[in-house]
Amino acid sequence: MSAQIIAIDAMGGDFGPRSIVQASIACLSATPSLHLTLVGQSSLLEDLVSGFSAADRARLQILGAAEVIGMDERPSQALRGKPDSSMRVALELVRDGKAQACVSAGNTGALMALSRAVLKTLPGIDRPAMVAAIPTRTGYCQLLDLGANVDCTAEQLYQFAVMGSVAAQALGVQRPRVALLNVGTEDIKGNQQVRLAANLLQGARGLNYVGFIEGDGLYRGAADVVVCDGFVGNILLKSSEGLATMVAQRIEQTFRRGLLSRLAGAVAMPLLKRVQADLAPARHNGASFLGLQGIVVKSHGAAGVEGFQSAIQRALIEIQENLPGRLHGRLEDLLK
């Protein structure tokens, strides 16, 4: 198997380089064909890597970058004011063919702006979209956009649907069912952009468009790809994560109330823990920027070691499936 090379922006995220280095070394141990380049402050990263005896330095490089983009910086400042940031340098490795993907837990707006500037979009795509796998009753659903594009035209929603369908196929879904997230399933429901996008999708050749879907339909597994603007998608994603955490905490609290509850909990908790682990956001961390001429995966800023590992794994899958190439091969036909 040929090597996969991923550039890691090691300076982003809430937990900093230590967590990212630990996740990177764990991924190297799990995947013999993987090579990683950690980009950031060289002396700091060297010190952190030296603390892990299992680090395979033959497959782990460190590349210096003097600047760091803060989580609260404006994208315009990151784009113009920090030419030697760890984020930009990591993206430039992808642009120059020295890496096949970039993974970052840094500032989302800055990562999107830099990705568009450094890698450019595929022909026919106005804006990249963030997509991630959402657990459903029957498996997983690809949800996009997750926050990269707060306001979207009908044409952009159509482009998201095409990209989401191709991404789902790359992940093993034979004929992905594509739906538009809406406030109802009737044709008259929704704002103008959603209704216009539905008209475009109904006439699309080679796309399995199944109509409007409501939020509960997403979790029932009624579609394999669900499309919305970034404003709605980001709220849905964060609300889902918060709900999952709250439900898990409520269940644990219930099983601690009284002797009978604790006895019942002793029996039920192992199964509930298994379900909780399967649905944990960390297992599904990693949102891809679809529509770029290269692979970029955004890890949640609050992701820990396990979560960042998931983001690297998502990038690895997209490399193996040559996702940008597959997108480019189908976009010309589907976007006519």
- How many residues make up the chain in this entry? 336
* 34, 199, 246, 309, 327 from 292: Cα distances, Å: 22, 26, 36, 22, 9
Same domain, 132 and 251: yes
- The predicted pLDDT at position 321 comes to 87
Closest C-alpha to 318, from 98, 103, 109: 103
**Domain identity same for 85 and 217:** no
**Average pLDDT of the residues in 262-275:** 62
User: Do 142 and 275 fall within a single domain?
Assistant: yes
Q: In sequence order, which residues have a C-beta less than 8 Å from that of residue 16 and are 6 or more positions away?
A: none
According to DSSP, residue 281 is labeled: G
Q: Is residue 335 part of a domain?
A: no
Pairing of the two strands 34-40 and 60-64: parallel
Angle at 296 between CA 332 and CA 135, to 5 degrees: 90
Task: Determine, yes or no, domain membership for 215.
Answer: yes
State pTM to two decimals.
0.86
Name the helix (H) or strand (E) containing 5: strand 4-9
Residue-wise pLDDT tens digits, 32-62: 999 999 999 999 999 999 888 777 788 999 9
Span 290-308, average pLDDT: 89
Instruction: Write out the residue range of the structural domain in which residue 198 sits.
Output: 127-283
Looking at the fold, whether 19 and 55 belong to one and the same domain comes out as yes
In a domain, 334, yes or no: no
DSSP assignment string, 18-50: HHHHHHHHHHHHH-TTEEEEEEE-HHHHHHHHH
**295 and 257, same structural domain?**
no
Report if residue 331 sits inside a domain. Answer: no
In this structure, the answer to whether residues 39 and 104 fall within a common structural domain is yes
Q: CATH no. for residue 43?
A: 3.40.718.10
Q: Tell me how far the alpha carbon of residue 3 is from its chain's centroid.
A: 22
Same domain, 107 and 227: no
**What is the tens place of the pLDDT at every residue in 89-118?**
999 999 999 999 999 999 988 999 999 999
* 296 and 279 within one domain: no
Q: Could you tell me which residue, 197 or 280, shows the higher pLDDT?
A: 197
The tokens of 143 are what? 């949800």
Neighbouring CB atoms inside 10 A of 134's CB total 18
Answer whether residue 82 is part of any domain: yes
Note whether residue 332 is domain-resident.
no
Residue 144 lies in a domain: yes
Query: Do 58 and 100 share a domain, yes or no?
Result: yes
Tell me, what's the pLDDT at 6?
97
pLDDT greater than 70 at residue 283: no
Q: Do 193 and 317 share a domain, yes or no?
A: no
Distance (Å, rounded) from C-alpha 46 to C-alpha 28? 16
**For all residues of the chain together, what is the average pLDDT?**
86
Res 282 pLDDT > 50: no
Q: Would you state the structure tokens that stand for residue 302, as one six-digit string? A: 């609050």
Residue 161 has pLDDT above 90, yes or no: yes
Mark whether 47 and 60 lie in a shared domain. yes
What digits encode the pLDDT tens for the residues 169-227?
Answer: 887 888 999 999 999 888 888 889 999 999 999 988 888 999 999 988 888 999 999 99
Three-class SS of residue 8?
strand
Give 113-117 contacts, CB < 8 A, sequence gap 24+.
113/75, 113/76, 113/78, 113/79, 114/75, 114/78, 114/79, 114/85, 114/87, 114/88, 115/91, 115/289, 115/292, 115/294, 115/296, 116/292, 117/79
Domain presence at residue 184? yes
One domain for residues 308 and 210? no
Among 25-29, 198-202, 282-286, which stretch is predicted with the lowest mean pLDDT?
A: 282-286
Domain count for the chain, please give it: 2
Average pLDDT of span 283-296: 85
